[in-house]
Chain A
Amino acid sequence: MSVSFRPGYRCVGFVLGVCLLTTGLMTDVQADSSLGRDTASTAMAQRRDLAQLNISLAVFQPGIPADAATHRAQGVFPKIRRVEARFLPYVIRDTLTRTNVWGAVRVIPTDMSAAELLVTGKILHSDGQMLKLHLRAADALGRVWIDADYAAEAEVLDGPPDTGRQLDPFQGLFDQFADDLQRASAQFDRKSLTTIKEVAVLKYAGNLLPDAFGDYLAISAEGMVEIRRLPATNDPMLDRIQRIRHYEYVFIDTLDEQYESLYSNIAPTYNLWRRYQSQLARYKKSEEQRRRSSKSGDARGSYAALKKSYENYKWIKMEEQNLETWATGFNNEIAPTVVDMEGRVIRLEGSLEERYTVWRELLSSMFSLETGMTDEQPGR
Chain B
Amino acid sequence: MLVVMLPAACSHQPPPPMVEVAGKTHMPVDFSGSWERDYSKGGDINEGLKKIYRQLSRSAQYAGTIDGRYQPLNSSSVSMGAIIASARLADSISRSDLLEIVQGNSEIRVNREEDFTLTCEFDGSTFQQTKTAFGTELCGWDGGQMVFNLALPDGLAVAHRLTISPDKQELHVATTVRAGATQTPFSVYRYYTRIEPLPSKYDCVQTLSRKRVCTIRGAPQ
Chain A residues with CB under 8 Å of chain B are 69, 72-73, 162, 268-269, 272-273, 276, 284, 287-288, 291, 300-303, 305-307, 309-310, 312-314, 316-318, 321, 325-326, 328-330, 332-333
Chain A nearest Cβ from B198, distance in angstroms: 23
User: CB-nearest residue of chain B relative to A72?
Assistant: B121
Inter-chain CA distance A305–B82, complex, in Å, is 11
What are some 24 contacts across the A-B interface (CB < 8 A)?
A: A72-B121, A269-B209, A273-B208, A284-B134, A287-B134, A291-B133, A301-B85, A302-B81, A305-B85, A306-B156, A307-B88, A310-B93, A310-B152, A313-B135, A314-B116, A317-B116, A318-B115, A318-B116, A325-B206, A326-B208, A328-B206, A329-B206, A329-B211, A333-B210
**Which residues of chain B are near A328, meaning CB under 8 Å?**
206
Inter-chain CA distance A301–B121, complex, in Å, is 32
Chain A nearest Cβ from B121, distance in angstroms: 6
**Which residues of chain A are near B135, meaning CB under 8 Å?**
313
| Cβ–Cβ contact B154 & A288, under 8 A | no
| Cβ–Cβ contact A309 & B152, under 8 A | yes
For A162, A302, A313, A328, which residue has the most chain B Cβ atoms within 10 angstroms?
A: A313
Give the 9 A-B residue pairs with the shortest CB-CB distance, closest first.
Answer: A301-B180, A317-B116, A329-B208, A303-B85, A329-B206, A301-B82, A330-B208, A333-B207, A329-B207
Check B179 for interface membership: any CB of A closer than 8 A: yes
**Which residues of chain A are near B150, meaning CB under 8 Å?**
313
**Which residues of chain B are near A321, meaning CB under 8 Å?**
116-117
A-B CB pair tally, cutoff 8 Å = 85
**Which residues of chain B are near A300, meaning CB under 8 Å?**
154, 180-181
Interface SS, A side: helix
Inter-chain CA distance A300–B153, complex, in Å, is 13
For B115, B123, B134, B150, which residue has the most chain A Cβ atoms within 10 angstroms?
A: B134
User: CB-nearest residue of chain A relative to B121?
Assistant: A69
Inter-chain CA distance A309–B181, complex, in Å, is 15
| Cβ–Cβ contact B115 & A314, under 8 A | yes
**Which residues of chain A are near B89, meaning CB under 8 Å?**
303, 306-307, 310
| Cβ–Cβ contact A73 & B84, under 8 A | no
Chain B nearest Cβ from A166, distance in angstroms: 15
Check B158 for interface membership: any CB of A closer than 8 A: yes
Chain B nearest Cβ from A297, distance in angstroms: 13
User: CB-nearest residue of chain A relative to B83?
Assistant: A301
Extra contacts besides A162-B209, A301-B81, A306-B85 (19): CB < 8 Å: A269-B208, A273-B208, A284-B134, A291-B133, A300-B154, A301-B180, A301-B181, A305-B85, A306-B89, A306-B179, A307-B92, A309-B152, A310-B152, A314-B116, A321-B117, A329-B211, A330-B208, A332-B208, A333-B209
**Which residues of chain A are near B133, meaning CB under 8 Å?**
284, 288, 291
Inter-chain CA distance A104–B89, complex, in Å, is 64
Task: Fill in one digit per residue for B196-218: 1 if any A CB lies within 8 Å of its CB, else 0.
Answer: 00000000011111110000000
**Which residues of chain A are near B180, meaning CB under 8 Å?**
300-301
| Cβ–Cβ contact A268 & B209, under 8 A | yes
Task: Fill in one digit per residue for B105-136: 1 if any A CB lies within 8 Å of its CB, else 0.
Answer: 00000000001110001010000001011110
**Which residues of chain B are near A309, meaning CB under 8 Å?**
152, 154, 156
Check B86 for interface membership: any CB of A closer than 8 A: yes
User: CB-nearest residue of chain A relative to B156?
Assistant: A309
Inter-chain CA distance A312–B132, complex, in Å, is 14
Inter-chain CA distance A330–B133, complex, in Å, is 27
State whether A306 and B209 are in contact (beta carbons under 8 Å apart), knowing that A313-B152, A318-B116 are contacts in the complex.
Answer: no
| Cβ–Cβ contact B88 & A303, under 8 A | yes
Inter-chain CA distance A141–B150, complex, in Å, is 57
Inter-chain CA distance A269–B205, complex, in Å, is 16
Inter-chain CA distance A305–B209, complex, in Å, is 37
**Which residues of chain A are near B92, meaning CB under 8 Å?**
307
Chain A nearest Cβ from B45, distance in angstroms: 13
| Cβ–Cβ contact B134 & A272, under 8 A | no
Inter-chain CA distance A153–B213, complex, in Å, is 33
| Cβ–Cβ contact A310 & B156, under 8 A | yes
Chain A nearest Cβ from B132, distance in angstroms: 8
| Cβ–Cβ contact B158 & A310, under 8 A | yes
User: CB-nearest residue of chain A relative to B128?
Assistant: A69
| Cβ–Cβ contact A73 & B130, under 8 A | yes
Inter-chain CA distance A284–B133, complex, in Å, is 9
**Which residues of chain A are near B177, meaning CB under 8 Å?**
306
Chain B nearest Cβ from A302, distance in angstroms: 6
User: CB-nearest residue of chain B relative to A162?
Assistant: B209
Chain B nearest Cβ from A313, distance in angstroms: 5
| Cβ–Cβ contact B208 & A272, under 8 A | yes
**Which residues of chain B are near A73, meaning CB under 8 Å?**
130, 132
Inter-chain CA distance A276–B208, complex, in Å, is 10
| Cβ–Cβ contact B156 & A69, under 8 A | no
Chain A nearest Cβ from B183, distance in angstroms: 10
Chain B nearest Cβ from A287, distance in angstroms: 7
**Which residues of chain A are near B117, meaning CB under 8 Å?**
321
| Cβ–Cβ contact B209 & A303, under 8 A | no
Inter-chain CA distance A332–B130, complex, in Å, is 28
Inter-chain CA distance A314–B181, complex, in Å, is 23
Chain B nearest Cβ from A126, distance in angstroms: 16
